[in-house]
């Protein structure tokens, strides 16, 4: 069988012995770690955000300045902390004064929980 996928061209896919079509992405999708919980406190406009039972496709809707882009910046910040270090990630965002929610007291806190695979326990 030959599959055609937009942007990928064509490729041959071996038929399984039972004759049922194979879905290569279904096997990959189950192996991808999935974030199921996110809590952010005092990070820019996110004074106290808690997302539970996060679906594989999550859409953020809201007016300008409500924090939609900031949610994605949380993940960028965490990634940069691990790749280039906390200091550089912090400096890029204007240090603590710009990171912490204006007028708030207390630390900036980011907590996430994820699973390596659907049958494994949550990792914090």
* Domain positions in the chain: 33-115
Q: Which of 73, 65, 35, 30 is nearest to 53 (CA)?
A: 35
- 20-44: per-residue pLDDT in tens? 655 555 555 557 899 999 999 999 9
Question: For the domain with range 33-115, which CATH number is right: 3.40.50.920, 3.40.50.150, 3.40.50.300, 3.40.640.10?
Answer: 3.40.50.300
Q: What is the 3-state secondary structure (H, E, C) of 3-64?
A: EEECCCEEEECCCCCCCCCCCHHHHHHHHCCEEEEEEEEEECCEEEEEEECCCCCCCCCCCC
pTM of the model: 0.70
- 59-74: per-residue pLDDT in tens? 999 999 999 999 999 9
């Amino acid at each position: 069988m030959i599959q055609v996928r937009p942007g990928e061209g064509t490729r041959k896919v071996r038929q399984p012995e039972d004759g049922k079509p194979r879905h290569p992405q279904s096997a990959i999708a189950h192996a991808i770690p999935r974030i199921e919980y996110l809590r952010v406190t005092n990070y820019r406009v996110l004074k106290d955000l808690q997302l539970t039972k996060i679906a594989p496709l999550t859409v953020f809707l809201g007016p300008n300045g409500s924090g939609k882009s900031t949610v994605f910046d949380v993940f960028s910040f965490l990634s940069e902390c691990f790749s280039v270090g906390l200091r550089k990630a912090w400096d890029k965002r204007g240090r603590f004064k710009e990171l912490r929610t204006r007028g708030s007291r207390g630390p900036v806190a980011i907590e996430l929980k994820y699973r390596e695979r659907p049958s494994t326990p949550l990792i914090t």
